[in-house]
């Protein structure tokens, strides 16, 4: 069996040319993330490479949908993720350290230490895991409405597996 051809350009190469990457990643292949979800779909990845303070900078978005278990009652909760990405990439701990030694800090800026070559899956997977929402179904949400503050984003739809049952029995 031949390995699929995977040309992994270096981050610096990509940044120098201002490369733009548009790809669809299969969520099932993001194993660490998939293990946290009860269902996972595909993710649209859009990344642009450049430099900031001589460091490789990656900005873009990852969009997709996944299903998590409600953290209170375990009912499935569908979530649409749209995650902005804005990270500085360092090829080694040493490079990160010297950047820090120059008076920068990794609190105001998200940094990633990676090998010299692009591993798109890892980069995106890490970001998604960090950005996973805390899933609470609409039922638990309304039971405890006063304890939580939610942004006015779109409502998470609770897809109960029993939702269609009443339709079936009445026909
Ligand atoms: Zn719940």
Q: pLDDT tens digits for 79-90? A: 998 999 999 999
Query: Which residues sit opposite 43 in a β-bridge?
Result: 25, 64
Closest to 12 (Cα-Cα) out of 59, 46, 56: 56
Instruction: Please tell me the distance between residue 149's alpha carbon and the centre of ligand 1 in angstroms.
Output: 16
Helices (H) and strands (E) in the chain, counts: 6, 5
pLDDT at residue number 3: 47
Q: Which stretch of 61-75, 85-99, 129-143 has the lowest confidence by average pLDDT?
A: 129-143
pLDDT tens-digit profile of 96-108? 999 999 988 888 8
Quote the CA–CA distance of 158 and 161 in Å, as a whole number. 9
Instruction: Please tell me the distance between residue 100's alpha carbon and the centre of ligand 1 in angstroms.
Output: 43
Instruction: Please tell me the distance between residue 64's alpha carbon and the centre of ligand 1 in angstroms.
Output: 22
């Amino acid at each position: 069996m031949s390995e699929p051809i995977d040309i992994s350009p270096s981050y610096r190469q990509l940044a120098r040319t201002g490369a733009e990457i548009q790809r669809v990643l299969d969520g099932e292949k993001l194993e660490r993330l998939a293990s946290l979800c009860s269902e996972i779909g595909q993710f649209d990845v859009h990344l642009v490479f450049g430099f900031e303070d001589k460091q490789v900078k990656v900005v873009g978005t990852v969009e997709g949908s996944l299903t998590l278990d409600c953290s209170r009652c375990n009912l499935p909760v569908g979530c649409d993720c749209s995650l902005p990405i804005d990270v500085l990439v360092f090829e080694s701990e040493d490079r990160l350290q010297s950047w820090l030694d120059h008076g920068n800090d990794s609190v105001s800026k998200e940094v990633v230490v990676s090998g010299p070559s692009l591993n798109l899956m890892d980069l995106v997977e890490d970001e998604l895991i960090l950005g996973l929402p805390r899933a609470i179904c609409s039922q638990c949400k309304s039971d405890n409405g006063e304890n939580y503050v939610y942004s006015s984003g779109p409502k998470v739809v609770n897809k109960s597996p029993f939702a269609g049952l009443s339709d079936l029995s009445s026909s």
